[in-house]
């Protein structure tokens, strides 16, 4: 799946079949369901999971919590616009 196909799937009722939990979390985030996205992301114990978790808290406006999760991901906190960061993460996860 490529980014354009993933974006097109946002008009559906559910994330595309076969995507990873983190990609599904980002799908829910794009659809405005932060709680569902967060529930998924917090259950993934990996640097990618921490990165998605950081993005979600940044999107929520909780910079301190986002900073914690960026550190867990081994990353500097993003300063990119949220939509740019979302796209960067989706692209990276779709390639993984």
Alpha-helix runs per DSSP H in the chain: 3-9, 21-30, 34-41, 47-60, 63-73, 82-95
What string of pLDDT tens digits covers the 96 residues of the chain?
A: 899 999 999 999 999 999 999 999 999 999 999 999 999 999 999 999 999 999 999 999 999 999 999 999 999 999 999 999 999 999 999 996
| pTM, rounded to two decimals | 0.94
Give dist(CA 29, CA 39) in Å, integer: 11
Task: For residue 46, give the nearest of 20, 68, 72 by alpha carbon.
Answer: 72
| Element housing 13 (H / E) | none
Domain ranges of the chain: 20-95
- Domain topology for 20-95: 1.25.40
């Amino acid at each position: 799946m490529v980014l354009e196909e993933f974006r097109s799937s946002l008009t559906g009722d559910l994330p595309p079949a076969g995507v990873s939990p983190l990609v599904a979390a980002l799908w829910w985030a794009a659809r405005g369901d932060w709680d569902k996205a967060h529930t998924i992301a917090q259950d993934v114990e990996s640097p990618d999971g921490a990165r998605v978790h950081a993005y979600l808290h940044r999107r929520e406006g909780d910079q301190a919590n986002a900073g914690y999760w960026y550190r867990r991901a081994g990353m500097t906190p993003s300063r990119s616009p949220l939509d740019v960061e979302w796209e960067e993460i989706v692209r990276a996860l779709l390639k993984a």
